[in-house]
Amino acid sequence: MFTLADIFGHISNTIYLVGSVIKGSLALRLSWVLGAVAELVYYVYAAPEPLWTSIAWCGLITGLNLYQIMLILLQRRKSGLSPQEQALYQQLFHAMDWGNFKKMMKTATWEVLSEDRIVIAENERTDYLFLLANGAADVTLSGKPIAQLGSGSFIGEMSLLTGQVPTATVEVERGATLVSWPKAAINKLQQADESLNNELYAVFSRDIIEKIKHQNLQLAG
Ligand SMILES: Nc1ncnc2c1ncn2[C@@H]1O[C@@H]2COP(=O)(O)O[C@H]2[C@H]1O
């Protein structure tokens, strides 16, 4: 039969376990705090007398992690970027300097599509670069499907790089979260800052490599 102390011991270790599986330093720190608090209760009731040395260690671990959580939250607030933008940075733009990414995000517009939308049509000049932050899109050429795009894919980066007309038609599915930039704003940033320009090339290269890898798998399969 479990005693109250046993239950808190198990709760504590379950929290540590879950916290270790979830990605992200904030989740890990939170699990350390919650786990240490549950462990502290365990040490109060596990023996006839509270185990003061272990309780003191739990208190110290809780305090240090609370301090680190505060630093992470302060850093996030100072960064001036929304949690969505920060997630985008971690996922796709980490090759870019944080300040340059912020400059890019200033010219970006976020939108959740209420219906399917053709954002780029083959051979028709477009004034925008898109990023599918979340959702799916179909790429067609002369009406034939050639690829499917998932979260984290750029749309229109090829024509932005070549200066030519778009190579395909892209229809984004309803419910998708789309980020868009006026190409003129991106070009202006590229011309004003060589490092930003190089970093953007690195980001696009990664995207195009992923597309080629995906295409290769489709061709092979
Ligand atoms: N084979 C492909 N796989 C994935 N995406 C593609 C493929 N061909 C074209 N695209 C995307 O469709 C877009 C059409 O406009 P762009 O040529 O500017 O940029 C293109 C890419 O973003």
Residue with the smallest CA separation from ligand 1 atom 11 is 155
Q: 169 Cβ partners below 8 Å, 6+ apart? A: 118, 120, 121, 122, 139, 140, 141
> What pLDDT shows up at residue 94?
86
Q: Which residues of the chain have pLDDT under 70?
A: 23
> What pLDDT shows up at residue 99?
85
Show the beta-strand stretches assigned E in the chain: 109-112, 117-120, 128-134, 137-141, 144-149, 153-155, 169-172, 177-182
CA–CA separation, 158 and 18 (whole Å): 42
> What pLDDT shows up at residue 25?
77
pTM for this predicted structure: 0.70
CA–CA separation, 39 and 59 (whole Å): 10
Q: 15 CA to middle of ligand 1, Å?
A: 44
CA–CA separation, 126 and 117 (whole Å): 14
Q: 167 CA to middle of ligand 1, Å?
A: 6
Residue with the smallest CA separation from ligand 1 atom 22 is 155
> What pLDDT shows up at residue 45?
93
